[in-house]
A and B are shown apart, each in its own frame.
Chain A
């Protein structure tokens, strides 16, 4: 599903974000990506969603060579992914319902399908009663759930979550994790979750890939946070 082959990426300001990374993530997997600030986690996500182009190597997601996409084809590719951002990135002038529906309207789904699916998704993220609220009327956890709902609305093959619990308290984080697991099981969605919340990684054990200074320093199939950092 996700394949990185000898990928390197550096920025104009001289920062080498990723160095010769190779990685394979299979369909239906749930993977944590951990590592300290500046280890290249965000760059990895940006490479996966097509926001950045690798300097060297190949990034293939869902049979698409992400690095070679044209500017105008990037959004089309993104329809294969659901992306959950740490800062939510909801459209402020749209209600919760419309925000989730928007992702489906983009790909030209018909009204009836959209309405049915949005209801379904709202139920999945337990926000049925907030459908008509605007994002700024919701708590952080609720907004994060809307983002997740929007990300999964189109049945993406891959769900990328960038620190989805970063701004939330432990109780809320637990809720979000349960939701992601539910999605992983129910919809068979491949999930790549970037986090530095050691509690989550230790409690809910999944395949864990550790990044440090642009290298993969560990890839633990059975999961758990690294003891030696």
Chain B
């Protein structure tokens, strides 16, 4: 009669048992590889975005302080300047670094963050921002309204969304986005589709000032915003009047 009996501390396993255990172990390892591959392929694609971590570049342009820090870099006389939003290190904005320097010509050293046509520079300290011509200021046109809109999409923190984190949006990223917005990183609206034809928009209040309402309840969720499209030179904004959170499940 077959009387197989084995305890794990014995040095050798009965032959038949060893064959079965080897087969089971092989099946499990192969299953692990297959499942891993399936889950890998099924997950969503990562955004085509860049965060040049560890690499410092220098940019020269006109500093914008209001409503959110940005650098207008003129590449040629014919084209309008390119917009580089400015942000601090970690989950912090750059408002303190640019205070009182609106319209100044500056040289900024920082790390480039880029996604599609939107760009951002992470500035680590005030030393990275140097006045090129301290005495002169370039006036930047005032905010003007284009139209009223109703748009659907998601509110994100600009830094993570533009490339520092992937994904930088959605429910799993929500806590990080809240912390970033509380650190005064520029809030941004990412439209679903191309309702406005203007791509991503920085969020401001109905009066065009920096958005101050707590956004933690509405970040990382599908929302519908009733608002107004505003521009200030090459800068684009969505002034918020009403935010409705859409059902997500």
Is chain B a partner of chain A in the same complex? no
